[in-house]
Amino acid sequence: MSALAVEGLDVRHGLLQAVHGVSLQVAEGEIVALVGANGAGKTTLLRTIAGAHAPYSGKVLLEGEDVTAVPAHKRVAKGVALVPEGRKLFTAMTVDENLRLAGAVGRKGDWTVDRVLETFPMLKARRHARCGGLSGGEQQATAIGRALMTNPRVLLLDEVSLGLSPLAVDLVYASLKGLIESRTTILLVEQDLTRALGVSQRVICMLEGRIVLEGASRSVTREQVTEAYFGLGRDHNASAGKTS
């Protein structure tokens, strides 16, 4: 049974259909990278999985349980955690306060404030600093830590490297290494193809709200992903995704 499954998902923003019949699965302990150009539907898909956006049709299943109609806050309690694009921290609160607040509404589990600080050492000295004064990398680490404090079954990471300096991206991904090695189930949206292919077991490419390529990260070439990313040679990419 998959940790997460999406079946025939259609999602709309008013008259605009942002996601068209998307189906995917993420196995327990698997890291799947979701890539695509701006407007491909990646963020809308993640928000729908998290319960922040209602689908027009289709299903979201968490370990076989249909959670399509479950509101966002109850999905957190069931084990779905989203690190949103832009981080959305409580900037007037400290790192410690953001982490503890998330821990109060999540599931019981092994993630504690101390474990988050061990995973993201850059936050140790900033534990009692207000989040509004943190660097971009520190804010991203706090946002990921806040999600982990809910002890998720599935972690949804939206644009980890967006808006960060190359050094900050390196620091965040270095800290994520332990999380990745712990076999946390992750669906990762990432613009940086090198990062996405390097940390994931499987890659899914979306174009105009549809999946146009899917395959093992080690088997799919960067050229295939790039072509799918920009909608070049769609027939070739579709067959590559099925056989990878």
What is the structure's pLDDT at 240?
A: 43
On whether the CB atoms of residues 190 and 159 are closer than 8 A, the answer is: yes
Chain CA centroid to CA 19, Å? 16
User: For 53-112, what is each residue's pLDDT tens digit?
Assistant: 999 999 999 999 999 999 999 999 999 999 998 888 999 999 999 999 999 988 889 899
β-sheet bridge partners, residue 13: 16
Q: pLDDT above 70 covers what percent of the chain?
A: 95
When mean pLDDT is compared across 53-62, 108-117, 164-173, 175-184, the lowest value belongs to 175-184
| Number of domains observed in the structure of the chain | 1
pTM of the model: 0.89
What CATH number is given to the structural domain containing 204? Answer: 3.40.50.300
d(CA 153, CA 23): 19
DSSP 132: G
Please give the sequence-ordered ranges of beta strands (E in DSSP) within the chain, or none if there are none. Answer: 4-13, 16-26, 31-35, 57-62, 65-66, 80-83, 154-158, 185-189, 202-207, 210-216
Helix axes 136-148, 166-181, angle to 10 degrees: 20
User: What pLDDT shows up at residue 243?
Assistant: 33
Highest mean pLDDT among 44-48, 167-171, 194-198, 231-235: 44-48
> Which token pair is 195?
């990062």
Per-residue pLDDT tens for 196-230? 999 999 999 999 999 999 999 999 998 999 999 88
- First vs last C-alpha separation in the chain: 21
Write down the pLDDT at residue 191.
87
Q: What is the domain extent for residue 192?
A: 4-243
CB atoms inside a 10 Å sphere around CB 193? 16
- pLDDT at res. 234: 55
